[in-house]
A = this chain, B = another copy of it.
Amino acid sequence: MGKAQLDCEHTLAMAVREASTEPCPPLLARALDYAVFPGGARVRPRLSLAVALANGNSEPRLAAAAASAIELLHCASLVHDDLPCFDDAIERRGKPSVHAAFGERIAVLAGDALIVAAFQQLSAVGSRISHPVRLAAVTAIVARGVGGPLGICAGQAWECEPRVDLEHYHRSKTGALFVAATCSGAAAAGVEPEPWQELGDSIGEAYQVADDIQDAVADPEVIGKPTGIDVALDRPSAVRELGLDGAVKRLERCIEKGLDSIPPCKGRDLLREVVQQQSNRFFPQGVKHSAA
């Protein structure tokens, strides 16, 4: 599984270009590109493609469309999460957030248009794949990871409730899109998605814990966004709950659990390596962990 095989920049660029081509209003067109490029670690699409590849990747176009749809939806959620009514974050990935750069109205619309672009992308491969029946299954998996009742919109909506159901909050806000990543990779390759749920769940939880650790200890200059938000907004966090060492231990356990859950498949060993590699990036600089 080479580095190039896990790369979705080209598919992402095509999707953004299609959505922002003439006669798209210029500000919206620029905001769409700005929200997606340059990207972050692209953890979710890499995970999705890695699962498809480990299972033979018999519909590479569908797998690529699923992976980049998931990343477009992730980017959309960042744009909307940064809005003044939510985190009011003025920085993201080391540059002004979309609403800081283009205004609130364009940020709302860019998020909307990215959600639509994700599904547009998926539908576009319909006529170019050998197993069209897989498209509906993959689309349903991706949609489940984003909307209600258990997708990232629902996760974010828990922040608006007087009482938060912590398990559903984390599962939906972070885990759901990771589950969509592993399960859509499996479904695109034509294998039963359900056994791949636990890998997504565990890596999603690991990612959430890593995010909490980062918010507590990382240098804002290094990670390109403000830190200390969890304490400032009084949000639940693994570090606040378990202390730093406890949170690092939980992160290690989540990754191990994910690795152990990988179902038998042709590329199991390589997939384990990829997951391990990607997960090592979850540990902020300066935080010691046993598997590094």
Q: Is the interface of A mostly helix, strand, loop or mixed?
A: helix
Q: Is A159 an interface residue when CB atoms closer than 8 A count as contact?
A: yes
- Cβ–Cβ contact A126 & B137, under 8 A: yes
- Closest-CB distance, A150 to chain B (whole angstroms): 7
- Closest-CB distance, A134 to chain B (whole angstroms): 9
Give A21 to B28 CA distance when docked, in angstroms: 34
Contacts of A85 in B (CB 8 A): 103-105, 108
Q: Tell me the chain A residues, 116-150 only, with Cβ under 8 Å from chain B.
A: 116-117, 119-120, 122-127, 132-133, 135-137, 139-140, 143-144, 146-150
Contacts of A20 in B (CB 8 A): 148-149
Q: Identify the closest chain B residue to A102 (Cβ).
A: B160
Give A135 to B157 CA distance when docked, in angstroms: 30
- Cβ–Cβ contact B113 & A148, under 8 A: yes
- The interface bits of chain A over 139-174 (1 if a CB of B lies within 8 angstroms of the residue's CB, else 0) are 110011011111101101111110001001000000
Besides the contacts A23-B149, A115-B115, what 11 more A-B pairs have beta carbons closer than 8 Å?
A: A20-B148, A24-B150, A25-B158, A25-B165, A28-B148, A28-B160, A85-B105, A112-B112, A116-B148, A120-B144, A135-B136
Which 4 A-B residue pairings sit nearest by Cβ, starting from the closest? A126-B136, A116-B147, A24-B149, A28-B157
11 chain-A/chain-B pairs, Cβ below 8 angstroms: A24-B154, A25-B154, A25-B158, A105-B157, A105-B159, A112-B146, A115-B115, A120-B140, A123-B137, A124-B140, A125-B136
